[in-house]
Amino acid sequence: MNYPVWFLPGVGGGLLIAIIAVVHVFISHFAVGVASFLCWPSTKPVARTVRPFWSLSASTPRLFLLVTMVAGGMTGVAIWFVISLVHPGATSLLIHLFVFGWAAEWVFFLVEIVALLIYYYQFDRLDPKTHLAIGWIYFIAGWMSLFLINGIIGFMLTPGDWLQNQSFWSAFFNPTFWPSLFFRSMIAFMLAVPGLF
């Protein structure tokens, strides 16, 4: 199928994708890292009933909710919009090859959104153990989104054995999957460190 070409003189489609993607990836990695940070202080009141940690955990989620859900959501939609205009053929391949990967990612993303909304809006109404469980659900769902998208993005860089066998699993667990998953996870946790201060 022939697609129309969206030409951006002076800027180029690749640069526009890169600018939006860098902002989105920073926000998404920040979300995963800070999710672990939100859970950590919440473990203290459960284990030792230390209230200062609870107040620290209570002061963070509002800004976090706005940054991750509003800015992260807008940049995520912007990436899809721009890549579908700049290179619709590649976008179509990613959608068709990873249709179940995208479906699983959207399920984890939905769990992430619901958990964060419950975490924030029910902060003072839930008992600490339930609140902590919701925080960990949010963190795990966020990290699983990172896990799934890492396989898809890694495929774009190093398709590996997929070129020979056209297998979903060869595409997903491509040569850069495990190193980039480790690197992305460490970057996410590193972005949480400023929150400790």
pLDDT tens, 79-97?
999 998 888 888 998 999 9
Using CA atoms, how far apart are residues 155 and 24, in angstroms rounded to an integer? 19
Of 71, 31, 70, nearest in space to 189 by CA: 31
Using CA atoms, how far apart are residues 153 and 50, in angstroms rounded to an integer? 42
Contact 146, 188 (CB under 8 A): yes
For residue 122, what pLDDT band results from cuts at 50, 70 and 90?
confident
Q: Is 4 helix (H, G, I), strand (E, B) or coil?
A: coil
Using CA atoms, how far apart are residues 191 and 148, in angstroms rounded to an integer? 20
Average pLDDT score, the chain: 85
pLDDT (tens digit, 9 = 90+) per residue, 48-91?
455 555 555 666 677 778 888 889 989 999 999 999 888 888 89
